[in-house]
Structure 1
């Protein structure tokens, strides 16, 4: 099935998120109470709500998006390129720019979105944050009333499961086992908040996010038994 999908019809993506506030103490009393209630089962007795707040970026209600990186194939004859771009700035601008990209270039029936664990994390997170900011959902994110086979989303994690729904494989592990150069650089997901709030190095985060997008595209190519991208084919725009 995936062999029949024209690569140029797929928008590959990855997001980076952080807690909405740098510190738990910056939250007002209502938000602190809501955070305590939301995380009581995850924290158990091991962490206080304040200690656990560094993980707030994984919940759309308590986190925010600081980078969306996208990649898409462009074929001209026998020449193949993979164009990578990123949206940064304040979250409203990031989401508006991403929505415009989808609306203007990836809104037709044949277009699909693809990420690793994107169905569970990236795409719902984007949609929820758009709703919070009052941004109209692009059609590719508005799933209300759609049947499962009508949802225009691909997920390399799901493709690798082959129906084994209890199985989780990280992107780092999947690239390793498939012989793909590791997407990870000098930081990992647990460090993004520190790099953003303390080091204030958004360029480092963009590099990290774009590497993941490239890795997802490489995994997709391996699943199709096609040649991996080489550096000369990857264009950062």
Structure 2
């Protein structure tokens, strides 16, 4: 069974949702037969690479909230993250384009290191002090930490067309599937789960999709 997850590194609910899904998957009896594929989705497509600003500034401008409201939202997210054992910095984080990170994730997929790189990028963005935006050498370091070759990562970052089509294809597919936000989980192209749902919801969806697949396969052999 295949599970496709559309997400963005700048999305805190994707960070939390990934942990909740993985908790459900760890308890799923057929987990060894589940393939997880991460798909690209940009919350801020078309944003210039050098357009980096504080998260709180972005939130107040994008949603028309006060800085106090934005900070309260960050504190709530930190609590949700902590419940999943995740670190989350509520102050001093940046927001910017994630396009280059998605391109690197497609490189990582070819080398079987996509899951590792995605988690490293999430942790760097949400838990570490040094920004992940508009800093190619920072991204190279993170790619190497995920097991990729530094020269390969630099080559991708130096060529804005490298894996660009793959990122755009993922985003078009998300639109075709009706995803207007992330995280968006698609199980075996049968069921969709939107948002950072509780682990119990993911567990139920996994079981349901698996049972449906078993019925389909049984019917094909009768």
- In the superposition, the TM-score normalised over structure 2's length comes to 0.32
Greater RCO, CA 8 A, separation 6+: 2
